[in-house]
Structure formats: C-alpha cells, structure tokens
C-alpha cells in the first residue's frame, strides 16, 4: 500500500534540525494500530460496550474511531519526545490517523448510510467485477482468495473497510494513456475542446446536484463518455446552459466518489471537461478532501490547475515498505514537534506580551475613569511668546503623566495669550503632584456654570430728549467692542443689522471662526468676531451629540439666551415689533446700539464649562475688547478662594488689562442670603429688578366674574372649557398636595384632557411656570391657571394659554369651583399694561453677603431683568419652527447686559477710564427709590444693599459721576495679601518681587461701597476719590451720612475741594458702635454738590 502525505507534513528546508537528526533509526516493524484490527476486534476491544457499529451511520462510526484513536494515543504517552522508541510507537499509531472533521465533509449519501449498508454496496461491487484481469486502470483488490470466499464484514480490517468505503484512498493505477503530454486541446470532435488537447482519464468529484447525476457505488468504474462534476457548477453546455463540471476520459477508470455526473448533468459540481470550466466541490472524506485518486491529482497539475488552491495543499506519494515510511515520518514528526514547541514558545511569549499590554491598558483605563478635568493656573504670562508657554506647559504636564506625547493627549486648553495655565485630564494624585510645582499657583477642578436664565430703556428714562441715547452716539471718536460670552448669536436677527456703522476698529485682533451654519459673511461691521469653545464641556459631560438635543457646532445660537443678552447690551434700534396683537407697537434696542460685538460661544444646552470660559477670556483679552459681558455663574462653595475660582482668575486678568467684566449675580434669591455669584471685587455683579410694563390676561369664569392675571398669550382659548384643580386630578399613589404643583408624573391625563388646569407655585427656585405648562399640555390640557403668592413677577410664553394669578384672584376662583358641579372658564389674549411702584428687586435675584469676602458688598447694582423683550432666533432648535424674532425672558442674565450696555457708553465717552472708574460711575449714580419716590422694595420688604447693591441703574447719570473710586493692581495685591495668598503665588500672579505688609484689611480695598463684617466697638476705613467732573462743574463736595442703626459714623475731612488742581483726595470714615444689635445694619455715605450726587452704601453685617 502506498501512503499519501500532505505538503504541510514535509519539513521545510529552513527549519532547525532535530538534535537526533544524525542518529540512526532502528529497523521498524509494522506497529500495532487500531486500523490493523478487524472490525470484530475493534468492536470487542475498543468500542464502548453495548454499541453495535453495524447499525451506526458512517458519521457516528468515524466518531467512534476518533475516540478510540485518541484513547490509544493517550496511553502511548506521546508527550515524551526524547525517546526514539516512544516516538516510533506514536508514529505507528498515527500512521493511518484520520484528521477529525465534521460529517459535512462526507458526501451526504455516504455519511447517512449505516456501516452495514456501506458493506453491502462494497460486497455487491466486488461480485460484479472479474476476480482477475480487467481494465488495467481498475484499482481492484488482487487477493487470490477473494474469488473462492468473500470476507465477512467482521473479518475485514478497519483499514480495508475505510479504503473500500472511500473514506481513505489509495493510489489509482493509471494506464499508459495517462502518460501522454497535454497542451491546447481538441478531443473527439467536440467543438468545446482545443485542437491539440489530448483526453485524459479523470474521476468525478461531484458532491450533489440534479440534472443527470448518476448515483453509483462508491467503488465504481466511470463509463466512457461520462463527465464527472468537480465542485460547484462552473461549465456551460453547447446550448449555453450551465452544467456540472468534469472531464470526459478516454478510457474508464476507478474512483471512490459517491456520485458521478454525466455529460448533461447540471448543477452538481464545477469541473473540467470538454465544455466545462473548473471548480471545486465538497470534499468526499476527512482524509481525502477531494476524493481523487492520487495520480489524477498529479495529472491535473499537468493541465495547469492549481491543486493547492483547490484542495488546501498538494499531496505527495511515497512508495516503499511501511518501515521506510514510518522512519521518514518519524523524522518529520520530530522536527514538526520541535517546530511546534518553538511556535508555542513564541506564542507564549507573545501572549505574555499581550497580557502585559492589556494590564497596562486596564491601568490606564482605570486612571482615565478616575481622571477629572483640572485647571492649572500659573499666573501672569511671563514667557516670550505663546509657543514658549505651550511648550513649557507640556513639559510640566509630562512630568506627572509620563511623556510629552501623553501631555499632548491629556491637554484640553492652553491659556497662553493673556495669562498662563492650561486645563487637562488628570487623576487627583496627578493634580496634587503638579500643584507642588513652584510655577503653579493653584490646581482646581473645572466645573459647569449655568446661564442665569424692551421697554426697560424707556422705563429707565434713557430715551428722552436729554437722555443717554439722544445726546450721545458711538459713531466717531471711539468704537467700543463688547466681548459677549454666552450661547452664541443669531446673526440674521434685525438687532444685529450693521447699517450705519463704520469700518471694524483696527485695534481688534479677533477672528471670525466658521462652523456649522456660520460662515465668514455672517461677521460684519456689527458682529466683528466670533469664536466657539466646546472642548471643556465635552471633557466634563461627553460629546455634544450624546446629549440627545440638536445644536450648532459653531457660534450660531441654538438656545436663544445668547441672542437675547447680546441684543440687550448692544442691539441696533428695531421699531414696529408686532409682539402681541392688540398691544402697542414695541421698540427694541440695546444699551449701546452702535457698539461692536465680538461673540465667544461658551455655553451648550444651558451649561458652560469654566475651562472654556477661561479660554474665551484669554482670547478676548488678546483680541482687545473693551469690556466683557457674561450672564453665567456657579453656586459659591465653602472651599472657594480667589486663586481656585476660574471666573475670578479670568476676570482679574481682564481687569489688569483694562477690561471691565460685567456679570450676572445669579437666580437663587429664594434660597436667601449668601447666594450671590461672580462676586470678586474686580467684577461688576448685577442683580435683577422689575420694570413698569406688565402683560396681563383676563380669566372669565362661567358665573360672569372676571379677574386679571399675568401671562404672555398671543392667542386665547376658543370659548369656555371645564376647569379642574390639579389636586383633584392626582394619579393613583400621588397625594393631592403633590399633584397641585403640576409636576411631571403626578396628573391623571384622563381627568385633565380638554380642561383648564389650576396649579400652584412652590416657593422654590426650580419651580417654574414653563415646566408646569408643558406637563398640562402633554396631558391634553387646553390652558393653565397658576396661583403664585410671590408677586407674579416672571411670566413666560407657553404652548397653551397661561395666566398667573395672585392670592386674591385665587380666592375668587376657589369660591366659584366650590359653587358648581361643572365649573367653566376661558383665558383671554394678553394685553400690555403700564404700572407704577417699580422697580422692585426680583424675588429670584441672588443676594449677598459674599461668602468669600463679606466686606465686599455684593451685588454691586441692580438693573431690569424681569419680562425683558429682546432678540430671539427666528428658527430656534428649542422652540417652535416659526418662533418669533423677539422674545420675553427674565433673570439676572437679562439685567447684566443692561449694565454692560451703559458701561460701553461710559467707555465710549471716557475711553481712558479704568475698569474700576467705570464701575464706580455706574454704582455711585444708581437710584434707591422707585417711580413713586418710595425706597425700592423686595418681596421681603425694603431692599438692602445685599439685595440691590448701590441701587438701580441710572444710565444718564452714569455718564457724568463727578467723583469716582479708582482701584488698580496694587490695591488688589494688598487685598489678596489679606486673603492668605503667599508671596510666591503673588509673585507668579503679578510678576516681579512682591512683599506683603504685616497687616492688611479687606475693607480698605478702595471700592465705591463700605462693608464691615463684625464691628466690635469701632474701626476706621480709608477711601480715596478722583475728580471726574466736566469743565465748569463745581469742584467742592460736602458729605452727608445716613447712619446705620446702632452705629455712629463720622468722616474726615467732611469737605473735599478739588479746586487746587489735585485730582485725587483721601478721606477716613470712623465707625462707633452705640448699640449692640447682633444683626446687620445699613446706611449711606454721600458726597454731593449742586450737580453731582456720589452715593456709597454702608453695610455692617454684625453690630456687636
């Protein structure tokens, strides 16, 4: 018998030789193998008891052989490769070892037949063939005894059975015709064959298909003229139809395939024949993967077929005694096992390497999970250029993260233009380590700030014949540039029309950064620059896309807040605004209508990262803006100091570069004292107050009674609808009280559908009308009446008619609801109504004192922030598609740009004034009385300096304050000395050599207000003022004191005379406790003459 080995079993020339290569191998006898056993022996000795292989199908039978073979190999101890005898035994046992494969590798007819059925076919085919002779190409068993008596199935060896069944193959004996040479071919007058082609015997490999396939015994002679299919159909018949592949042999031959296709066969297998192409079918057996005789394989290679590609590897025939076969194979196997050992070693090393990399990645991932977004503040820009700052930042960061490459990856922002620092993703341990550097002032976590979310100018009398607008226009001498930091801008809004403006100021160094739906042409002489920042937000929150809301990745406003505040500060004059039908035509303008706007979008979805804000400040200072307006903030915390508060740091560097920062105070006033935000002394902090315009709606009840409420309704309910109190529409499990506030998931929609719902307001910051209206509208309600006992100050435009009523209206409504079983009502369209008793400090406006420095009275000033009409995106992603171009909104966000606009006007008139002087002019000229001449009030009573600062903004008076309280870097330096900031930090902040005096007091900071935290017995405070009167204005000022309760105040000197030409004078204020109150006390210090009134508030937090 001749053995067949695959190409992969031949050792490659370049492989390392075995240590036993040169050792002689002993002569080998045929070793014991399960394949030399008869089927009876195999049944009795190796198969599981109780199993009868005769009834098994071939698939199960092969599985039994594999199991028995594995058991025998294990018993032969194949792991011992150093012993030649063991190796030989192993090789002998593997001599006919079958490669384990799935049953699908056998032809379906064979794998499903039982062993007895296969034996019957073998027996039948032997009887049909002549015992001797026959065609020379027939590969027939030549055992002489077979003619006298056929072996029974039990007497046949396992090897012979597998060969005859077609599972294991022998070499075919090919006749002389197979030795012919072949080239381009022609055969049997078949036009599909080339002229020089000589036919050649070939077996069928067809694995299936219908259309003429002939099912034949496994051990069969192909009839002359038949065509066997090889694999899938790939040839074409003369009629153009696709058929099974194959080749028409010139003489019959023997093969082991289970199916043979004829010349007209279709679809069975691709083949090679007179009219067919070449393909490859399913393998016939696990060992003989193609079912071909070996000689035919070599012959097919002579046709130019790539049998390696067809059969997964070329087969090699080895002739000779079995001893030689086993000896050669033993050598190959030793080398193969050594090669496998080397491969396993390499694989193990590679696995170890991968595991190490994996562990490293796990550690890095764990660090990233614990990494936070930190800001590293390093003080004043001291290096020669921005590139040097960035390089130095990377070197410092690399010292804690491992490498410069890692530093690049960790960095979020570099602050390199106006001050030095960076923000990066760091673990707390890395942050602590980097903070130890001498060049670092502070390291703190980047936090999210929140947006503090217009007849107002007429209300402040800024539009008359002798007003700020009529007597001054920013056209010629100095063009003010307002840096606006918010949610972006809607450039098409009419408030940003550039008509009438001159060229962009040459000093401006900013850019117009394009982005989504924002192009270079959107910048003009009004909107002279635009930048946007999102990196810090995404590091803190995640990608913008992950929020699940639409947005513009550009400077375009996708929230509305930015356009509203920008137009309030610097919007162009817009007339004839049809806001609400039936009301007077509205006019909108900004505080500085001819000022330029540089846009810095730092807010996304109502939130703003402080690292992005600091980057915007760094750019804005470099861009040469004149002032910055920003209506965002974060709640103060107990651990905050000025050197770890990003907003304070950024505003400080703006201040030292001559830029005033105007910021909103926050909307947490209902939480009480110590809620003010953005409270650094060098910042102008703005509270919110009301104006004299209200929008009223009428509620008409079914019994004829009507009462007024407040709301912005562009439409009204169509007729009367049923009315239900929300408490009576509670969901199961929700209390009546909880349902009365109309919160989400509290109302039974079946009970409120088609009705007007009466809801209550809670005395909470986060209890807003808009959310209640959304809940009612989502449940099918047609209108909402809200009962609010806090003053009805804030109203919004909602998707359903909304009316906010006071307690008096609520009592009338309650009486009606109890008087009838079917209450009905309707809500009218809103009307404009002018009011007196304004301004009034808004209940939501955050209050002082400042947590960090109580001696610094905060807020500084109040301005209109309730129901302010200003620009809005015409297509807002957060509102209806046809949203109005103007919108009413409330908050300290709306108050801040009012002050910013007037500050821009003061800057335009006095371009050389410092930020502190502009701030002083606004504060010392503010009003403390309402339209009726009464003191301004809040919801708690008379407003205090911790409610409204110096008072309500007076735009006209601010242009000519008479005296100002100036403050520079030196004043701030001494102030910071008192706050425990060491000299090394101060040196980095201010540059150069610094020295803190032994004693400093926070209330000595030259502010236009005086605050004392704990007054025990008495103290003295110094102040200095600078004369800023016009030519011909009086130069002598006298003092007037409104003494705080329980305290006596005296001023030395009590007259200031600037007629001597000296611009700056200093005075002392002495405080004496007369009565121990144990509570705050307030008063005023005023310098006055016939033209000017310069008023400063006094607040003593505790009189002891």
Catalytically annotated residues: 486, 561, 893
Residues in the chain: 1104
How far is 1095 from 1009, CA to CA, in rounded Å?
A: 9
DSSP helix/strand/coil, 451: strand
By DSSP bridging, strand 574-577 and strand 586-588 are: antiparallel
Backbone angles phi, psi at 352, to 5 degrees: -60, -40
Provide DSSP, 618-640. HHHHHHT-SEEEE-EE----TT-
How far is 189 from 399, CA to CA, in rounded Å?
A: 86
How far is 1022 from 1005, CA to CA, in rounded Å?
A: 8
User: What secondary structure, in 3-state letters, does 1042-1101 show?
Assistant: ECCCCEEEEEECCEEECCCCCCEEEEEEEEEECCCCCCCEEEEEEEECCCCEEEEEEEEE
How far is 6 from 297, CA to CA, in rounded Å?
A: 12
**Of 271, 291, 288, the residue nearest 279 (C-alpha):** 271
DSSP helix/strand/coil, 425: strand
Residue 37 has which token pair? Answer: 């056993």
DSSP helix/strand/coil, 995: coil
Residues 946 and 858: beta-carbon distance below 8 Å: yes
**Of 118, 166, 115, 121, the residue nearest 283 (C-alpha):** 166
- Alpha carbon separation from 49 to 6, 595, 706, 882 (Å, rounded): 35, 101, 101, 85
Residues 434 and 425: beta-carbon distance below 8 Å: no
How far is 326 from 94, CA to CA, in rounded Å?
A: 10
Residues 396 and 439: beta-carbon distance below 8 Å: yes
How far is 761 from 321, CA to CA, in rounded Å?
A: 103
Residues 65 and 157: beta-carbon distance below 8 Å: no
Alpha helices in 449-585 (DSSP H): 456-459, 468-471, 535-541, 561-570
Backbone angles phi, psi at 563, to 5 degrees: -65, -40
Residues 565 and 484: beta-carbon distance below 8 Å: yes
Distance from chain centroid for Cα 638: 31
* CB atoms near residue 821 (< 10 Å): 4
**Of 783, 815, 786, the residue nearest 799 (C-alpha):** 783
What value does the CA radius of gyration of the chain take, rounded to a whole number of Å?
48
Provide DSSP, 104-160. GGS-HHHHTSBHHHHHHHHHHHHHHS-SS---TT------GGGTT-PPPTTTSBHHH
């Amino acid at each position: 018998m001749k053995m067949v080995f695959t190409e992969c079993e031949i050792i490659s020339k370049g492989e390392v030789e075995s240590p036993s290569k040169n050792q002689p191998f002993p002569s080998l006898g045929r070793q014991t193998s399960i394949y030399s056993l008869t089927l009876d022996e195999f049944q009795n000795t190796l198969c599981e008891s109780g199993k009868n292989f005769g009834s098994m199908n071939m698939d199960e039978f092969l599985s039994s052989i594999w199991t028995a073979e594995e058991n025998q190999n294990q018993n032969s101890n194949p792991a011992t490769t150093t012993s030649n005898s063991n190796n030989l035994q192993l090789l002998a046992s593997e001599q006919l070892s079958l490669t384990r494969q799935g049953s699908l590798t056998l032809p379906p007819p064979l794998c499903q037949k039982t062993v007895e059925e296969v034996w019957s076919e073998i027996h039948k085919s032997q009887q049909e063939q002549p015992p001797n002779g026959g065609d020379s190409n027939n590969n027939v068993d030549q055992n002489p005894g077979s003619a006298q008596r056929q072996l029974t199935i039990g007497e046949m060896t396992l090897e012979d059975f597998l060969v005859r069944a077609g599972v294991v193959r022998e070499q075919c004996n090919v006749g002389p015709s197979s030795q012919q040479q072949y080239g381009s071919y022609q055969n049997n007058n078949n036009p599909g064959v080339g002229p020089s082609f000589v036919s050649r015997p070939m077996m069928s490999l067809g694995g299936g298909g219908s259309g003429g396939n002939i099912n034949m015994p496994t051990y069969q002679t192909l009839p002359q003229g038949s065509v066997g299919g090889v694999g899938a159909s790939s040839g074409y018949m003369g009629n153009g139809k696709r058929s099974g592949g194959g080749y028409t042999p010139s003489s019959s031959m023997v093969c082991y395939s289970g199916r043979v296709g004829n010349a007209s066969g279709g679809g069975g297998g691709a083949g090679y024949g007179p009219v067919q192409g070449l393909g490859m079918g399913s393998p016939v057996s696990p060992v003989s993967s193609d079912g071909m005789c070996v000689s035919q394989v070599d012959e097919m290679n002579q046709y130019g077929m790539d049998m390696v590609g067809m059969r997964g590897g070329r087969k090699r025939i080895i002739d000779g005694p079995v001893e030689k076969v086993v000896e050669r194979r033993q050598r190959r196997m030793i080398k193969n096992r050594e090669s496998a050992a080397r491969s396993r070693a390499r694989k193990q090393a590679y696995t170890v390497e991968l595991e190490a990399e994996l562990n490293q990645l796990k550690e890095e991932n764990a660090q990233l999970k614990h990494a936070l977004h930190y800001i590293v503040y390093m003080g004043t820009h001291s290096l020669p250029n921005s590139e040097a700052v960035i390089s130095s930042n990377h070197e410092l960061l690399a010292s804690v993260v491992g490498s410069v490459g890692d530093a690049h990856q960790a960095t979020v922002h570099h602050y390199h233009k106006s001050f030095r620092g960076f923000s990066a993703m760091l673990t707390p341990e890395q942050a602590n380590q980097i903070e130890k550097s001498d060049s670092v002032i502070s390291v703190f976590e980047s936090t999210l700030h929140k947006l503090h979310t217009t007849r107002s100018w007429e209300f402040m009398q800024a539009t008359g014949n002798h007003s700020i607008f009529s007597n001054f226009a920013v056209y010629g001498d100095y063009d003010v540039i307002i840096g606006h930091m918010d949610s972006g801008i809607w450039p098409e809004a009419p408030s940003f029309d550039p008509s009438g403006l001159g060229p962009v100021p040459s000093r401006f160094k900013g850019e117009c950064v394009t982005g989504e739906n924002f192009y270079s042409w959107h910048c003009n002489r009004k909107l002279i620059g635009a930048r946007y920042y999102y990196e810090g937000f995404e590091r803190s929150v995640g990608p913008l896309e992950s929020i699940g809301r639409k947005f513009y990745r550009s400077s375009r406003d996708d929230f509305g807040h930015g356009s509203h505040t920008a137009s309030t500060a610097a919007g162009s004059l817009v007339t004839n605004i049809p806001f609400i039908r039936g009301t007077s035509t509205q006019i909108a303008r900004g505080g500085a209508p001819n000022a330029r706007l540089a846009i810095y979008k730092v807010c996304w979805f109502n939130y703003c990262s402080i690292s992005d804000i600091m980057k915007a400040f760094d750019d804005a200072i470099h861009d040469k803006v004149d002032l910055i307006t920003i209506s965002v903030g974060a709640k103060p915390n107990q651990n905050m100091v000025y050197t770890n508060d990003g907003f304070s740091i950024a505003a400080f560097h703006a201040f030292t570069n001559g830029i005033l920062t105007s910021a909103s105070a926050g909307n947490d006033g209902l939480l009480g004292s110590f809620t003010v935000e953005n409270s650094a002394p060098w910042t102008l902090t703005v509270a919110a107050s009301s104006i004299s315009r209200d929008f009223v709606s009428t509620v008409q009840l079914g019994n004829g009674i009507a009462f007024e409420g407040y709301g912005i309704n562009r439409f009204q309910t169509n007729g009367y609808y049923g009315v239900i109190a929300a408490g009576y529409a509670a969901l199961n499990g929700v209390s009546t009280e909880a349902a009365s506030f109309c919160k989400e998931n509290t109302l039974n929609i079946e009970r409120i559908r088609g009705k007007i719902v009466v809801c209550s307001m809670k005395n909470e910051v986060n209890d807003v009308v808009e959310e209640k209206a959304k809940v009612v509208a989502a449940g099918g309600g047609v209108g909402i009446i809200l009962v609010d006992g806090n003053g009805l100050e804030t109203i919004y435009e909602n998707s359903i008619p909304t009316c906010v009523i006071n307690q008096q209206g609520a009592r009338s409504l309650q009486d009606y609801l109890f008087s009838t079983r079917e209450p009905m009502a309707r809500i009218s369209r809103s009307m404009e109504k002018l009011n007196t008793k304004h301004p009034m400090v808004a209940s939501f406006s955050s209050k002082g004192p400042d947590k960090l420095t109580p001696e610094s009275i905060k807020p500084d000033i109040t301005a209109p922030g309730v129901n302010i009409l200003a620009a809005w995106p015409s297509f807002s992603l957060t509102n209806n598609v046809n949203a109005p171009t103007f919108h009413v909104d409330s908050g300290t966000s709306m108050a801040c740009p009012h002050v910013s606009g007037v500050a821009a006007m003061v800057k335009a008139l006095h371009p050389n004034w410092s930020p502190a002087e502009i701030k002083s002019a606004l504060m010392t000229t503010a009003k403390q009385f309402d339209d009726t001449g009464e003191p301004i009030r809040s919801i708690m009573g008379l407003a205090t300096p911790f409610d409204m600062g110096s008072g309500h903004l007076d735009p006209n008076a601010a242009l000519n304050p008479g005296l100002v309280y100036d403050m520079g870097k030196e004043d701030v330096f001494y102030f910071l000395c008192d706050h425990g900031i060491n000299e090394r930090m101060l040196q980095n902040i201010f540059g150069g050599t610094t020295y803190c005096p032994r004693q400093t007091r926070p209330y000595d900071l030259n502010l236009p207000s005086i605050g004392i935290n704990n007054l025990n017995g008495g103290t003295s405070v110094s102040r200095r003022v600078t004369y800023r009167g016009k030519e011909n204005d009086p130069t002598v000022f006298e003092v007037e004191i409104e003494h705080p309760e329980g305290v006596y105040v005296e001023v030395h000197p009590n007259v200031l005379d600037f007629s001597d030409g000296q611009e700056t004078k200093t005075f002392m204020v002495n405080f004496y406790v007369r009565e121990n109150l144990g509570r705050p006390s307030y008063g005023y210090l005023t310098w006055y003459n016939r033209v000017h009134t310069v008023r400063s508030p006094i607040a003593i937090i505790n009189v002891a």
